[in-house]
Amino acid sequence: MTGSIEGKGGVQMNRKIGFIGLGIMGRPMARNLIKAGYTLVVFDVNAEAIQDLCSAGAEEGLSARDVAERAPLVITMLPNSPHVVEAILGKDGALAGAGPGSILVDMSSIAPLVSKDVAAKARAKGVEMLDAPVSGGEPKAVEGTLAIMVGGEEKTFDAVREILLKMGSSAILVGGIGSGNVAKLANQIIVALNIAAMSEAMTLATKAGVDPEKVFQAIRGGLAGSTVLEAKMPKVLKGDFKPGFRIELHIKDLMNALDTAHGIGVPLPLTAGVLEMMQALKVDGKAQNDHAGLIQYYESLCAIEVRGRQ
């Protein structure tokens, strides 16, 4: 596919995109960009992940720096703040290879203050940055229907918006740099509390001798219905806790939420409570489970399993 991407300050960029981080989320996101006709230069610490994307048409990057030297737009999708700092600011990081007019889009879920710090260092080199975390988990990453929350300059956002929409069904500019991750923290609080509420309710129903699957069907069309309920209750009913979004990653997000909130004087008592439930599951060896597995905390308290009756 031919054409160009209009970059910051009118810089014309070709359709080559760098992509760093090919995990549960990054790999399907990168595949959707390839399907949309972009040429990707990819890098990950996992060589198998690189080869998988190369078999789909991507080019192999030798390092984050090499990726940025070969692509004017670089997307990162990494587990946490330290990984982003190393991938962008490290000796062989993307910023070492990026030139003036390049754009970095960090789609990881990290602390907002880290986004601001990395962006300031990038801007000093003439490189613009957006923080653009996502919501939707692996299923929506595969479908290309993620919700993308973006922080940064409007002109930079406008330059890459259509690319983001190849990975998501929505891409909303929330505010300045760091705002995307603030929005993501708010999202993760709501998701965690939804799963906890669902778990409490369905444990009650099961302990009372009522089929939780019938309860799900009865309430899903009412005010208690939600995207979280639709996505997570079927997994609970099957006892399927294969990760779409791991408990350990939700722990990371809630810890970032608490750190951010405490830094600006905002108490988050419900968030703290759910975090401790997830920490208990982590201690019990369930950190790799999908966050729908939070129901196992309640199951252990009541000595039952919430499963469908079929």
The 10s digit of each residue's pLDDT in 262-287 is 999 999 999 999 999 999 999 999 99
Please list the active-site residues. Answer: 184
- Confidence tier at 60 by pLDDT (50, 70, 90): very high
The 10s digit of each residue's pLDDT in 2-44 is 334 544 333 344 689 999 999 999 999 999 999 999 999 999 9
133 and 208 part of one domain? no
155, 176, 197 — which closes off a domain?
A: 176
* Percent of the residues in the chain that have a pLDDT greater than 70, as a whole number: 95
Instruction: Tell me if 308 is assigned to some domain.
Output: no
196 and 145 part of one domain? no
pLDDT > 60? residue 135: yes
In angstroms, the CA 3 to CA 16 distance is 10
259 and 188 part of one domain? yes
Please give the structure tokens belonging to residue 284.
């019990």
Say what the pLDDT of residue 4 is: 46
Instruction: Tell me if 241 is assigned to some domain.
Output: yes
pLDDT > 90? residue 240: yes
Instruction: Indicate the average pLDDT of the chain.
Output: 94
The residue range of the domain holding 223 is 183-302
Note whether 187 and 135 are within 8 A (CB): yes
pLDDT > 70? residue 64: yes
Better-predicted residue by pLDDT, 219 or 310: 219
In angstroms, the CA 64 to CA 86 distance is 9
The 10s digit of each residue's pLDDT in 178-206 is 999 999 999 999 999 999 999 999 999 99
- Confidence tier at 244 by pLDDT (50, 70, 90): confident
Say what the pLDDT of residue 255 is: 96
Burial class (CB in 10 A: 0-12, 13-18, 19+), 89: middle
